[in-house]
Each structure stands twice: as C-alpha cells, then as structure tokens.
Structure 1
C-alpha cells in the first residue's frame, strides 16, 4: 500500500460500521437472561425452604419429640431401661464396637468384625422407648 499525502487509505475513525451499532437489544437480552436466572434461583430457594419447613414440622409431630410430649405429659414417664436417655450400651459387643466371629463351626481363626447391632458406635437405640426416652403409661 502506498501512502500519499492526500489522505488516501483507511484511517482509524472513518466508520467501519461501528457507529451504527445498536446497544439496546443486547442490553435487553442480557437483562432478560439475568432476570430469568435470578427468578429461577429465587423460586427454587422458596420451594426448598417451604419443603424443609413442612417436613421439619411434620417430623416434630411424631412421637418422641418434646413438642408432642408437652401436650401428653400426663400419659408418659421416663423409660426405665435407658433411664430416659434413649440409648444404652450395645448388648451384643458390650461397648467394644467389634465382635469375634468365624464362619466355621469349629473355628481355627476368629476374626474381629464390626458389630452389626450398633455399627461400631458402641451404643444402640433403646428398643423399649424407641430412642425417645419416654414411654406411655397404661390408662386405668
């Protein structure tokens, strides 16, 4: 390209279509996309928090919860088996978290295995009160 002194050639500001660019549709599309994303996040948050609240209230209404026991307090007493705690030491492993087991009748080797009753937690849920710590008294 040969440059001459008369200004021939293309310069930086002689209009390559950039001045005719309309920004409004692009901004409108981005705004719609952002509104859709924010609305979706808001609706998912509201639905999940409502579901969590519903299931939490439903869970509290089951037996063993303090809210349901306060209305029926005259018919319940502390469990004598677990002393009102809801749990006691595992009776199978006696709190060791493992049991000695062998698949053979006359074992040569005895293998320590994880306790199937307490899953190694050393405590088990009370079967008398089902873990609530309270039992209902018989009426009469």
Structure 2
C-alpha cells in the first residue's frame, strides 16, 4: 500500500512538487519574455510611425499650411520619371571599361517602377 509520502512500494520516492515549481517558473519566464518583446516592439513601431508622420507630414497637413506652394520639380505629383533609366526600368551595365557584352540590369534608383520619389518635396507635392 502506498504511503502519503509518495512511496509506491518499490523503494522509489518521487516528489513532484519541485518538478512542478521548476516547470511553472520556466513557463512564467518564457511567457513574460514573449510579452515584454511584443510590448516593446509594438510601442517602438507606434512611436516610429508617429515620428515619421510628423517629420515628413502628410499631403493633407501640407495643404492646411498657409505658406505652401506646389513643387516645381514634380509639378505637385510627388513623383517623376526616373532620371537614371529614363523610364525604361532597366539600365545597360558592364563591369568592364570597354565591354564586349552589355547586360541589361534592373534600375537601382527606381527598382524597376519607372518613377522615383521627388527629392525636392520628399514625395508630398508641396514645398
């Protein structure tokens, strides 16, 4: 017959209480770490997006300002045709000075989109 101490009759005394404490402590540390990482990263993302909105401003906030005018470089659109590839999305490139073969490569300025953000107004369309 088994006693209250956990002796099952074979002479093996198993005490589960320290094992359960260790398991609970490990689970608490793991869950606390996950919660901390999620909280810190979501706070950082929120603060970063608010900072960039205030730094660059949205087009609607630029319109509300009294001293704004349309950007002359992009004519108020915020984008213009890529100056490197001239709207072709590829450039001809070769690593050699006097090339035998010229490779068409994706334009590094516009990434193949054929337009680039205006550097004068940072894409807002207003100065």
Q: Please, what TM-score do these two structures have when normalized by structure 1?
A: 0.66
Retained in 1: the 8 A contact 2:59–2:124? no
| Unmatched segments (≥5 aa) in structure 2 | 1-7
The structure with the largest alpha-carbon Rg is 1
Distance 2:17 2:101 in 1: 81
Trace 1:14-29 onto structure 2 (pairs within 5 A): 15-18=9-12, 20-29=13-22
Residue in structure 2 matched with residue 115 of structure 1 by the alignment: 107
State the Cα distance separating 1:108 from its structure 2 match: 6.7
Which residue matches 1:35?
Answer: 28
Contact 2:56 2:122 in 1 (8 A): no
Gaps of 5+ in 1: 1-13, 136-140
* Equivalent residue in structure 1 for 2:67, among 63, 66, 75: 75
The 3-state SS of whatever aligns with 2:123 is coil
Structure 2 matches for 1:1-140, cutoff 5 A? 15-18=9-12, 20-66=13-59, 68-69=61-62, 73-100=65-92, 103-104=97-98, 111-135=103-127
* Number of residue-to-residue matches in the alignment: 118
Contact 2:86 2:114 in 1 (8 A): yes
Residue 115 of structure 1 and its aligned partner are, at CA, apart by: 3.2
Give, in whole Å, the separation in 2 of the partners of 1:32 and 1:91.
60
For structure 1, which segment, 81-90 or 29-38, has the greater mean C-alpha deviation from structure 2 after superposition?
Answer: 81-90
CA contact (8 A) 2:82 2:114 kept: yes
| Equivalent-residue separation in structure 2 for 1:38 and 1:67 (angstroms) | 42
RMSD over aligned Cα atoms: 2.8
Q: TM-score when scaled to structure 2?
A: 0.71
Query: What's the CA shift for 1:68?
Result: 4.9
Question: Does the 8 A contact of 1:61 with 1:67 survive in 2?
Answer: no
For the Cα contact (< 8 Å) 1:92–1:115, is it kept in 2? yes
The structural deviation recorded for 1:33 is: 1.0
